[in-house]
Structure 1
């Protein structure tokens, strides 16, 4: 491959590389939970939330320990408070995705939730987000909140709550490099093949 073709390919690969492209609206929030702290059937180990603060679209992945996975009947309730929006009013500081009920015959270690919540448009990188009431207080009109997995149903006081009602029960929103669609990788491969073919013909 000539130096010019090699330079062209490297430039294309740089522009198309998923790891190097960052969407300013793509944000991420991660929460971890220790293994073995559940009083229910499911032992959740954490969640990762990706969202777009220009649209409010979000995807949440919850994980569970392989020894105590998501199985049978359970409910996922997520309540997240972000006082760094500049307001403690529920809109826009309080994100809610609750009453997610499942009845699974086969065990899984991941559950995916998706949706749109326009309150997320006011959330940004660097904001603190609490998943219990303890570290950052409560949004207006809410006396107490927490997030977790309740199992089995009907609710009987058995749960795996994210956090420990402690001052550390919050996470910080981070900017997240979002992979571009796989077609870009195919395009980069096609460019490489084209450049190689042209080089061989010369």
Structure 2
């Protein structure tokens, strides 16, 4: 096999195999009313991005007029409605916590990450609730005062998440294109000229 054709074949193989090697990624986002926050800040949205391998990142957003400040704990107590009866659940199916001491600085965004094998059971379209009545409520909580919190009691659906194309995939595609171009030029050079009559 000539070099351009070999380059093309290898690059195409990389481009085709790369997506299969990636874990499926999903996201779910909950919205919260602005203006209902406590001393810790005013939550307006929470986004959870996770893979079926169990890796996750939770990102909380605060109202710019009332950012996160002080010593806060962020609780995400999650119930997948497709996997059980929410009303009779004794505990969250998944509880994701984050702790942050903002000190004098305030922020409109806070992210933290972890690993939870249970996420392999979640699929696109599943309804995810952030609370079960008054027993398990999600929210941003002041560690100075347990009464200083902004509750997040809502439901949202899991969506498939399409990540940005990686440099590996883009490089593979560029190599494939270069290989195809080189093969085409090589074939054009080898084509015999038509016999003149």
TM-score w.r.t. the length of structure 1 is 0.67
How far did residue 181 of structure 1 move?
A: 2.5
SS in 2 for 1:120: helix
* Structure 1, unpaired ranges of 5+: 1-7, 135-142, 164-168, 197-201
Counterpart CA distance in 1 for 2:50 and 2:82 is 17
Give the total of aligned pairs.
Answer: 173
Structure 2 Cα separation of the partners of residues 93 and 149 of structure 1: 17
- Hey, what does 1:159 align to over in structure 2? 149
Match of 1:97 in 2: 96
4+ residue segments displaced more than 3 Å = 86-90, 182-196
Partner residue in 2 for 1:64: 62
1:33-112 matched pairs, under 5 angstroms? 33-53=32-52, 55-85=53-83, 94-98=93-97, 100-104=98-102, 105-112=104-111
Match of 2:139 among 141, 148, 158: 148
Alpha-carbon offset, residue 33 of structure 1: 0.9
How far apart are residue 61 of structure 1 and its match?
A: 1.2
In structure 1, the residue matched to 2:124 is 125
Give the aligned CA root-mean-square deviation in angstroms: 3.6
The question of whether the paired residues in 2 share the 8 Å contact of 1:71 and 1:106 is answered with yes
Q: Secondary structure at the match of 2:136?
A: coil
Q: Does the 8 Å contact 1:31/1:171 carry over to 2?
A: yes
- 1:40 CA drift (Å): 2.3
Task: Please identify, of 122-131 and 186-195, the stretch whose mean Cα deviation from structure 2 is larger.
Answer: 186-195
Cα 1:87/1:118, change in 2 over 3 Å: farther
Q: 1: CA distance between counterparts of 2:106 and 2:180?
A: 48
Cα distance between partner residues in 1 of 2:65 and 2:175: 44
